[in-house]
Amino acid sequence: MKPPSLLAAWLAVILTAHISHSAPAPAAPNYASQMAAKLEPVRRVVYKTVGTTELHLDVFVPPEFRATDHRPAWVTIHGGGWTSGTPRSMYPWAEYCTTLGMVALSVQYRLHRPGGDVSVFDCVRDARSALRYIRAHAGELGIDPRRIVVNGASAGGHLAVGTALFEGLDEAGDDQTVSCRPDAIVLFSPVIDTSTAGYGNAKVGARWRELSPAHQVRAGLPPTIVFHGTGDTTTPFPGAQRFHEAMLGAGNRCELVRVESAQHTYMFKDADRYAETQRQLGSFLAALGFVEFAR
């Protein structure tokens, strides 16, 4: 074999240098994000107005839905550290739950801005307002007001469980004769401990204990399932373990799906884990009698 010519060798060096200094390719969107981009709700409903800001629910309905139905409801709340994110990120879970026969609603809430007018406490108020609106308008939405499941991912998980836990943290003007307590709770990698050992302590501030689910558990809470990875460094797994143990200690029904080495919001990131979480979710809802599940 002939050795490479001087020109060929020189071209190879130039090409290698160009490749090594090129910008890295952007990371591919995670699996659920790719799905979310293709989905759209059937309608959008305003549930609350604060000043000039309208907050809405994005509504998905199952096949053969009729306005006179009394379907179980899936109410889902996006994450983003209370400071970012949109309802769209939860569309795949909403769409999935319609295949189980549920009406699904993805919640918009005010976002916290450090130094701004919106606090994490306001985010909680919005979530509680959303649940009250849904229950009060159940007939218009085709929903059974006694079968409302609230779900959230990361900071959205914190807001979801806050609809059951944080009594008294309500928007002035809300009709508090309407309960914002859900009938079941489903949490994906939730912010569950706002102490310095968990997530969000600096954002919540000195009153962190008031907004720490792991420190607010009591008897009589709705049946709950928590999906959490042991490799989660954003919302550390020990907080989920503490919450689970406190729930059981208080006599509540609570399941903890522990996924070894999985990272934060692992159930969004690849098809296999997304599908497995769907299966586990369907089994949980079927066990409560909210849906029929045969997958």
**43-58 residue pLDDT tens:** 999 999 999 999 999 9
pLDDT at 114: 82
- Over residues 208-235, the mean pLDDT reads 98
**Angstrom distance (rounded) from CA 211 to CA 141:** 30
Contact 152, 162 (CB under 8 A): no
Evaluated on CA atoms 168, 194, 134, 44, the torsion sign reads positive
Least confident residue range of 28-37, 66-75, 85-94:
28-37
- Over residues 192-204, the mean pLDDT reads 97
Place of tokens 């809300």: 174
- Over residues 84-90, the mean pLDDT reads 97
Domains annotated on the chain, with CATH: 28-287 (3.40.50.1820)
**Angstrom distance (rounded) from CA 90 to CA 79:** 9
- In sequence order, what are the residues at sequence separation of 6 or more whose Cβ sits closer than 8 angstroms to the Cβ of residue 63? 98
For residue 196, with 0-12 CB atoms within 10 Å meaning exposed, 13-18 middle and 19 or more buried, which class applies? exposed
Check pLDDT > 80 for residue 195: yes
Arithmetic mean of pLDDT over the chain: 91
**15-42 residue pLDDT tens:** 333 333 333 444 456 899 999 999 999 9
Helix, strand, coil percentages in the chain from 3-state DSSP, rounded to 5: 40, 20, 45
Distances (CA, A) of 119 to 57, 64, 73, 190: 21, 41, 28, 18
- In sequence order, what are the residues at sequence separation of 6 or more whose Cβ sits closer than 8 angstroms to the Cβ of residue 158? 82, 124, 152, 190, 191, 192, 194, 200, 211, 213
Give backbone dihedrals phi and psi of 107, rounded to 5 degrees, phi first. Answer: -95, 130
Contact 183, 148 (CB under 8 A): yes
pLDDT at 115: 83
Q: How far apart are the first and last CA of the chain?
A: 61
